[in-house]
Amino acid sequence: MPIIRVALDVPLSTLFDYVVEENTEVIFGQRVLVPFGRKQVLGVVMERAEQSDLSAARLKAVTQVLDDVPPLPQEMLTLLRFCSDYYHHPLGMTVLSALPARLRDTEPIKLKQALDYTLSAAGRALDIETLPKRRVVQQRILQALREAPMSGAQLRSLSPSAPAALKVLLEAGWVELVDRSQNPLSNSLPQAGERTETARHIFNGAHTLTPEQQQAVDAVTQQTGYACFLLHGITGSGKTEIYVHLMHEMLQRGGQVLLLVPEINLTPQLEHYFRSRFPDVELVSLHSGLADGERALNWLKAQSGAARIVLGTRLSVFTPLPKLSLILVDEEHDSSFKQQDGLRYSARDVAIFRANQRGVPIVLGSATPSLESWFNAKSGRYQLLQLKQRAVQPATLPVVRCMDISQLPLEEGMSQPLLAAIETCLQRQEQSLIFINRRGFAPVLMCTSCGWLSECKHCAGKLVLHQKDRSLRCHHCGAQQRVPHACPTCGDADLKPVGFGTQRLEESLQARFPQARILRVDRDSTRNKGAWNAMRKQIHDGAADILIGTQMLAKGHDFPNLTLVGVVSPDGALYSADFRASEKLFAQLTQVGGRAGRADKAGEVIVQTAFPNHPLFQALRAHDYEIWAQTLLAERQMAGFPPYVYQALLSAESQQESDAFNFLKQARSMALELHMPVEVYGVVPAAMPRRANHHRAQLLVQSDKRKALGEFLRVWKPGLDGLPAGKLRWVLDVDPMEF
């Protein structure tokens, strides 16, 4: 009987052998049910084997071959093998983690979820005008369904509150569900030799491209085969417009386009935007916010070729796309492209591998490219495309001013010039945004007589004061307690908040400008589902005068009435132990500054800093990413940091401090004994040396050659797997972004 090797979700770097009946046909990439221990588990067939190490008596038979959905294409299997090999993550776990949850189930998929909403007879007879005015979302849905049946996803892109409205409409009997007549899987692919006709589609609101934009579009569309382009364009220079034109071209050629976007709450907005540009093109989104059924369905539509545009966060890089002809990575510098647990992949890097594998172009877009990408563009590995002007004239870049807070008195953390600028803004009825990357009221509470500081019992960090509910909270482990009435050490009642967070600025600005409508946007104020969407609407409708927020506010919004951005206490990042902190700060400030003064209004950015002459702020004032990148690259080269070296970080954590350290010391001796051309550093405590009662330590290995590092890891990793791990957790992170 034939033997097959199956990938299972098991933390061992092997495949598992099973036998199949003589007459069953098994295809690579097909899902199968197999017995494992006492359970039935789901696996993916990876290869055939001539013989097995297991004796015939011990070889078990496949329970069931699932043919509910098409097998994973060979290309995906190759990609996943590459990822497993490069990131040193068990192959089975890598393969299984690439499948949507619904396809990892042992229950076969039934595409019952392929339901559309449509108007019932009663709904068609209804006069929409007679509905109460405040039921706008219901009206909008009914209006849309008059045109055609729509999926839940399509309707949600009309409004975030569509699900609630649909429930009402279903209950009222105006809307009903129908099985989508066209099964997404029946959409057959063109066979080899069959000619695909040039596809036609509606392309809405195309702008005449500026010469810079046209050049960029031409460079990509004239490319045959693989090439990696770095699209560096200042905020508002029309990068999105370029993506749209590239999509248009690739759709015309009959291809599929994958657009990767950062993990933020913006996916529904973007989805809506691209749908409006290509109204009759099937577009699906893939992100962690989708229900399992919907995600599986969207994935299958991509796999069948029916979905022509796939818009997704990092996980969507593992979607099978038979007609893939272009990959776009928006905000390619964003750290959310790197997965921080399980398979610790960089979706950007995997996307580049994929484009290369398929022989199609890939475009990485950003106003502030990662230094890795910039370095690759400068050294000629990527082709650099630049946009130096804002697309809409006369929109210009905002004026950036630095306020030297070592010279200026501060009132509740804010300087006179900043307060005056906010006041002017209020008078002109324009919006201002105060950016501070710290939530809560104050980062720590202090006793003025003995110097006691609020510290977390479980972590090497401080408890943050949250004034709203009089609590002290740890942002690392979540521990929470009530604010004490007196100092726990000396009993003095005079406890003072030290430093500033979003809540404190909110309170002091409200006291100073009582009439102003102030909106705080941070993880606390947006915790409830739908809260952030409601706030975004408020901002857009002009129902807020001053916005106070963390980086959540910095990303990808277009607030036309916003003319002032204030940046409070950015200095911590300048001297941080994390060598990427200042790179990140520049990107954040450029992004947040880019919110100011779009369209017809000039913008201003005021940065409060004690180091106004720091190269970062000089470059920011000059809107000169290139000079900043050059400065950073010179520093990184001197210090021997990425992108001049390639790194792998082995981290361990344990309740007993010695467990983690001993493990890492053994790992280090093993590494040294291999005598391979890599640099092995010492074992050191992690940047956060204790978290949630676990001691954390790490060991860094690096090399100036990617290949040398890879070869070393291939020998070292099995050794690590063999070390007694006892009561500790350890993980190997290739190309780490966090230390």
Counting contacts by CB under 5 A, is residue 489 touching Zn ion? yes
Closest CA to 555 of 342, 264, 289, 280: 264
Rounded to whole angstroms, what are the CA distances from 532 to 264, 334, 538? 11, 20, 10
CB of 436 to Zn ion, least distance (A): 22
Pick the closer one to ligand ADP by CB: 42 or 397: 397
Pick the closer one to ligand ADP by CB: 211 or 514: 211
Counting contacts by CB under 5 A, is residue 464 touching Zn ion? no
Rounded to whole angstroms, what are the CA distances from 603 to 183, 299, 402, 593? 50, 42, 15, 8
Stretch that binds Zn ion, among 352-360, 475-483, 620-628, 680-688 (CB under 5 A): 475-483
CB of 556 to Zn ion, least distance (A): 31
Distance CA 383, CA 737 (A): 24
Counting contacts by CB under 6 A, is residue 236 touching ligand ADP? yes
Per CB under 5 A, the list member of 452, 579, 644, 739 interacting with Zn ion is 452
Per CB under 5 A, the list member of 96, 362, 433, 456 interacting with Zn ion is 456
Counting contacts by CB under 6 A, is residue 210 touching ligand ADP? yes
Report the residue count for the chain: 739
How many other β-carbons are positioned within 10 Å of the β-carbon of residue 564? 25
Q: Which of residues 241-260 bind ligand ADP (CB under 6 A)?
A: 241
- With tokens 């090399």, the residue in question is 703
Q: Which residues contact 410 (CB under 8 A, 6 or more apart)?
A: 608
Q: DSSP string covering 320-339, please? A: --TTEEEEEEETTT-GGGB-
Pick the closer one to Zn ion by CB: 404 or 492: 492
Stretch that binds ligand ADP, among 228-236, 356-364, 428-436, 540-548 (CB under 6 A): 228-236
The type of residue at 434 is I
Residue 719, φ and ψ in degrees, nearest 5: -65, -45
Per CB under 6 A, the list member of 159, 213, 304, 366 interacting with ligand ADP is 213
Residue 452's binding partner, choosing from ligand ADP, Zn ion, none, with beta-carbon cut-off 5 to 8 A by kind?
A: Zn ion
Stretch that binds ligand ADP, among 96-104, 207-215, 248-256, 682-690 (CB under 6 A): 207-215
Q: DSSP string covering 107-155, please? A: SPP-GGG-EEEEE-HHHHH--GGGS-TT-HHHHHHHHHHHH--B-HHHH
Distance CA 384, CA 634 (A): 20
Counting contacts by CB under 5 A, is residue 450 touching Zn ion? yes
Give the chain's radius of gyration (CA, Å): 28
Per CB under 6 A, the list member of 92, 238, 268, 361 interacting with ligand ADP is 238
Residue 391's binding partner, choosing from Zn ion, ligand ADP, none, with beta-carbon cut-off 5 to 8 A by kind?
A: ligand ADP
Pick the closer one to Zn ion by CB: 67 or 492: 492
Pick the closer one to Zn ion by CB: 248 or 462: 462
Distance CA 227, CA 229 (A): 6
Counting contacts by CB under 6 A, is residue 369 touching ligand ADP? no
Pick the closer one to ligand ADP by CB: 358 or 555: 555
Longest Cα–Cα distance in the chain? 85
Number of H helices, E strands in the chain: 21, 32
Residue 15's binding partner, choosing from Zn ion, ligand ADP, none, with beta-carbon cut-off 5 to 8 A by kind?
A: none
Counting contacts by CB under 5 A, is residue 521 touching Zn ion? no
The alpha carbon of 4 is separated from its chain's Cα centroid by a whole number of angstroms, namely 36
Counting contacts by CB under 5 A, is residue 297 touching Zn ion? no
Is 178:116 a contact under the CB 8 Å cutoff? yes
Residue 458's binding partner, choosing from Zn ion, ligand ADP, none, with beta-carbon cut-off 5 to 8 A by kind?
A: Zn ion
DSSP letter assigned to residue 387? E
Counting contacts by CB under 6 A, is residue 725 touching ligand ADP? no
Residue 665's binding partner, choosing from Zn ion, ligand ADP, none, with beta-carbon cut-off 5 to 8 A by kind?
A: none
Is 505:440 a contact under the CB 8 Å cutoff? no
Q: Which residues contact 535 (CB under 8 A, 6 or more apart)?
A: 519, 521, 525, 526, 544
Distance CA 727, CA 164 (A): 47
Counting contacts by CB under 5 A, is residue 474 touching Zn ion? yes
CB of 662 to Zn ion, least distance (A): 24
Counting contacts by CB under 6 A, is residue 235 touching ligand ADP? yes
CB of 234 to ligand ADP, least distance (A): 7
Per CB under 6 A, the list member of 71, 100, 233, 642 interacting with ligand ADP is 233
Is 117:156 a contact under the CB 8 Å cutoff? no
Q: Which of residues 90-149 bind Zn ion (CB under 5 A)?
A: none
Counting contacts by CB under 5 A, is residue 695 touching Zn ion? no
Counting contacts by CB under 6 A, is residue 388 touching ligand ADP? no
Is 720:652 a contact under the CB 8 Å cutoff? no
Distance CA 125, CA 606 (A): 57
CB of 360 to ligand ADP, least distance (A): 22
The type of residue at 98 is A
Pick the closer one to ligand ADP by CB: 203 or 441: 203
The type of residue at 656 is Q
Per CB under 6 A, the list member of 391, 456, 459, 671 interacting with ligand ADP is 391
Residue ranges that bind Zn ion, judged by CB under 5 A: 447, 450, 452, 456, 458-459, 474, 476-477, 479, 487, 489-490, 492
Footprint of ligand ADP (CB under 6 A): 207-210, 213, 233, 235-241, 391-392
